[in-house]
A and B are shown apart, each in its own frame.
Chain A
Amino acid sequence: MSWRFRSRGRRNRELDEEIQAHLKLAERDGVESGRTPEDARSAARREFGNVNLVAEATRDSWGRRWLADLLQDLRIGARMLRRRPGFTVLAVLCLTLGIGATAAVFSWIEGVLFRPYPLVAHQERLVAISGTARGSTELSDISWLDFQDLARSSTLAGAFIAEKITGARLSIGDRSEVAVGSVVSANYFDALGLHMALGRGLEPAENVGRNAHPVAVISYQFWQERYHGDPAIIGKTQMLNGVRHTIIGVAPEGFYGTFVGYSWRFWVPVSMQETFDPAGYKLEDRGGGWIEGFVLLKPGVTREQAQQEVSAIAARLEREYPETNRGRGFKLFPLWETPFNNAGALAPTLGVALCVVVFVLLIACANVGNLLLVRSFARRHEMTVRLALGAGRVRLFKQVLTEGLILSALAAAGGVLLAYWSRNLLVRLLPPRGRPMFLAGQLDWRVLAATAGVCLAATLLFALVPALQSGKADLTAALRSESSGVVGGGRRPWLRSTLVVVQVGLSFLLLVGAGLVLQSLEHIRNSSPGFSVEHVVLTNVNLAVAGYDAQRARTFQDELMDRVRALPGVDSAAYARVVPFSFQNYSAAPIAVEGYEPRRDQQPAAEYDEVSPGYFATMGIPLVSGRDFTRSDDENAPPVAIVNEAMVEQYWRGADPVGQRLEVKGKWMQVVGVARQAKYRGFMETSQPFFYVPLRQNFSSIVALEVRTAAPLPAVSSALIHEIRALDPDLPAYEAIGMREQVERTTAAPHVAVTLLTIFSSFALLLAAVGLYSVMSYAVSQGTRELGLRMALGARAGDLLRLVVRQGLALTAGGVLLGAAAAFGLTRLLGYLLYQVSPRDPLAFGAAFAVMTVVALAASLLPAWRATRIDPVRALQS
């Protein structure tokens, strides 16, 4: 068994020695039988056969040959690549762009959609749960009593985790600020598999009792920033919404909470719900929903199975508690469709990004395939020599693949670096929000494995072509002279041309996509939402968190309004419960309109906002008829409403409704005005019926304050904070933002898409240009003889220039046709991003065509110019 312990190198030497001994003995036998020494030597060699082949066949029997082969291939490959640094660098750069872009998008998808919550265990089993109402697409929150019944009855779920996002007033010394956190069920940290950095998590007993357990777990980041990492923090207290909470634990470092896009500051138990919910105490009210929850499924349970189970539980609850649960159900969502955070909004954009980077990767592969192909012609000689020396064809094939693998491994390393650098790019692409944001790519083993898979697939794609080509290498053909013919008439030009056509086609497709999204964004920028986006400043006034009752809140709002209107530079100011284009929900209610007979199966409904007098002037929404609300439209006056144009159209058939009546939640209101149609949630919405009611008659102590002023934002912001503090120093002050920023928040998805598409399509364009350039210059270098001949026969420089450029443009034209056909079919996928732009918009197609043509011209002009510099005499002599 000694062979096992001998090194491969030593065994190779011994095998050589053994074969040499064989030859020597055969030669000696030959001499003894009377041949001349030379004769005997060559006879011995002839009889023995190909020494290399015998040695190779013998080494095959040693086993583990692939490893030695691989090492040898790697050595040879590395040597080859070192010898042509220009080729290597270009190929690696192309692939790095392709693989890096893919890895980055993979890591975003992993970090935002599949595993959005760092440190949380078993995210593959975590699903989101929301309440549903029969006959409505709107989702609703779940009540605590229902949630507990779910947890008790379910056999398929490991845990039901209740959560409610809340902004809380945090008092430090004499200052107040707003901190984002959530009310969670006590199983939160255990079910998510988190281990506290300090102290403990929540305990089941802390779910129970009205405001009975004022305890809080704080985030690691918050602990560092606010308490400077105080090691004795456990047991200290912190005022949250005016209630003294004992800090019982610090969450682990790197855990940001369970909401895509934000990082949490604190968590409090369910028993504290009333303190953090302006809508009041709900823990014993089956009709009072407040929970946006998660369900941790048991291993092996699918979401569909769990959905069936929760639906069955919902049906049972409906029978047992018909007055609260009629028509109520529960719906489970995979994490990437979570309805109550940013995952749902980003998912389609990331899907588009994935398609786009796959195209970029394909273009990069086509490029490298082309480069390798060109080089494999140059290396035909080397390959032939190696074949003649006894290398197996499979070996050569593997050799070419190995070289490709080295290239793509280098590129993958660069690509992962690229992905690492760009993991926070998504956050930067989003408009600033002035709140802690966490939205990072995740480079875990899954992403790395996927990237490695991409790298292998890419290698197969681009290395297979020249590898197959080299497999066809023909000994006799290789001995012939290699002057190839007409420009583009070299060996198998169709293969290279096809690759270029595909590249140009894919780039064209991406250009069209980028053009469409860019145009859509431009339309969004230029279109008016129906209210002023300039000179309007917003801030929040949350009196509920400060424990104001309605009476105190009214007085406060009036006093603040007087102070704000008195500020220098303020033209007008108003309150609204919900600001347009915010993520808050408007009130919605079934309505009845006097004189309008709805169809039997139809229940008219509309959304509405509660606003104060002066709202329309402040927001710049014109009143087309009637009057604005006044201070006398208060709780003692008859209820009034102002409707929008779509509502007039739908319920009064365009007739002026002023003086008509409208019933909302059993209360009849008189229509006193008509407001010009506007957008309410975002640009993409269609015109919908909407109306306004006076804030005084439909009171809320949580409102937004809108101020119309030409003064700069920072000055207005600090003046507003100053006025609010002057009235109540204990109120949390929210930062003011301009209306434009508010509006741009809702265009985040198109923004991200535009930036990504622009970046990636310029990658694609660059790669396609490189591809076109390399093919054209190769064609010129191969056609030197023919071009020289043409020159000798009297062709002028201009003719040659035209010849070469025409060749390049023909390839481009093919690519553009292909790309246009693909774009016609595929741009519909961008529909959700497109605002007032057709997916077949001629402008986008035209612009893409122009850009592609210019780039193609540029890429073929240089090789063409070189063609005109050919010296006919030398070209014909060579």
Chain B
Amino acid sequence: MAARKVQYQDRIQILQGTLDMLILQTLAWAPRHGYALSRAIRTNSGEILKVDTGSLYPALHRLERKGWIAAEWKASEQGPRLRVYRLTKAGRRQLLPQRSRWERLNRAIAGILNPARARSAS
């Protein structure tokens, strides 16, 4: 049990920046509650990215605390009320730098994995 907890924490640390960006980007299209958000990330990534709830909820609450997203309780038809998150103005301002940083990182990693192509591309 305890071993799993350690893993959760590791994954949060590794994926934190990426997960934050994915959440912000997904919410930029439309407000969503936690479950819908995890479905959306999974579906949009072609079922490749599966977000751990143990990372998702801490990330949502952390972003909310930073003021980049805001939450609101909404009643759902024939179901429990849902906590729906939407992107705030501050969050939208964060999205662009987050994306460009991600793209830089992506290029850098691609360059390491495949040096020749990266050099010819630049």
Which bucket holds chain A's interface residue count? 20 to 34
A20 at the interface (CB under 8 A from B): yes
Asked whether B65 lies within 8 Å of A3 as measured between CB atoms, the reply is yes
Asked whether B53 lies within 8 Å of A14 as measured between CB atoms, the reply is no
Task: Say yes or no: A62-B79 contact (C-beta < 8 A), given A22-B35, A54-B54, A392-B5.
Answer: no
Complex alpha-carbon distance, A20 and B82, angstroms = 10
| A20, A22, A388 interface centre (most CB from chain B within 10 Å) | A22
Complex alpha-carbon distance, A653 and B62, angstroms = 95
Contacts of B81 in A (CB 8 A): 17, 21
Contact among B5, B53, B80 with A48 in the assembled complex (CB-CB below 8 Å): B53
Contacts of B76 in A (CB 8 A): 21
Complex alpha-carbon distance, A475 and B2, angstroms = 11
Asked whether B65 lies within 8 Å of A49 as measured between CB atoms, the reply is no
Contact among B36, B53, B55, B80 with A24 in the assembled complex (CB-CB below 8 Å): B80
Contacts of B39 in A (CB 8 A): 29
Asked whether A61 lies within 8 Å of B79 as measured between CB atoms, the reply is no
Contact among A19, A28, A53 with B8 in the assembled complex (CB-CB below 8 Å): A53
Which residues of A, 44-93, contact B by the 8 Å Cβ criterion? 48-50, 53-55, 57-58, 60-63
Contacts of A588 in B (CB 8 A): none
A390 at the interface (CB under 8 A from B): yes
Contacts of B61 in A (CB 8 A): 3, 58, 61-62
Of all chain A residues, which has the CB nearest B72? A2
Asked whether A24 lies within 8 Å of B54 as measured between CB atoms, the reply is no
Contacts of A387 in B (CB 8 A): 1-2
B52 at the interface (CB under 8 A from A): yes
Task: Say yes or no: A49-B62 contact (C-beta < 8 A), given A20-B80, A25-B79.
Answer: no
Complex alpha-carbon distance, A62 and B5, angstroms = 18
B111 at the interface (CB under 8 A from A): no
Contacts of A3 in B (CB 8 A): 61, 64-65
Contact among A21, A55, A58 with B35 in the assembled complex (CB-CB below 8 Å): A21
B92 at the interface (CB under 8 A from A): no
Contacts of A60 in B (CB 8 A): 58
| B1, B64, B76, B83 interface centre (most CB from chain A within 10 Å) | B1
Asked whether A390 lies within 8 Å of B57 as measured between CB atoms, the reply is no
Contact among B8, B35, B58 with A61 in the assembled complex (CB-CB below 8 Å): B58
Contacts of B28 in A (CB 8 A): none
A26 at the interface (CB under 8 A from B): yes
| Shortest CB distance B23–A (Å) | 13
Contacts of A594 in B (CB 8 A): none
Of all chain B residues, which has the CB nearest A21? B80
A522 at the interface (CB under 8 A from B): no
A18 at the interface (CB under 8 A from B): yes
Contacts of A392 in B (CB 8 A): 2, 5
Asked whether A49 lies within 8 Å of B54 as measured between CB atoms, the reply is yes
Task: Say yes or no: A24-B79 contact (C-beta < 8 A), given A50-B4, A62-B65, A390-B5.
Answer: yes
A866 at the interface (CB under 8 A from B): no
B31 at the interface (CB under 8 A from A): no
Contacts of B79 in A (CB 8 A): 21, 24-25, 28
A1 at the interface (CB under 8 A from B): yes
A523 at the interface (CB under 8 A from B): no
Complex alpha-carbon distance, A399 and B100, angstroms = 45
Asked whether B65 lies within 8 Å of A61 as measured between CB atoms, the reply is yes
Which residues of B, 7-39, contact A by the 8 Å Cβ criterion? 8-9, 12, 33-36, 39
Complex alpha-carbon distance, A392 and B1, angstroms = 9
| A14, A24, A61, A392 interface centre (most CB from chain B within 10 Å) | A61
Of all chain B residues, which has the CB nearest A55? B57
B-contact bits for A368-395, CB 8 A (1 contact / 0 none): 0000000000000000000110101100
Among all A-B residue pairs, the 4 with the closest Cβ atoms? A61-B58, A61-B62, A21-B80, A58-B57
Chain B interface residues toward A at CB < 8 A: 1-2, 4-5, 8-9, 12, 33-36, 39, 52-55, 57-59, 61-62, 64-65, 67, 73, 76, 79-83
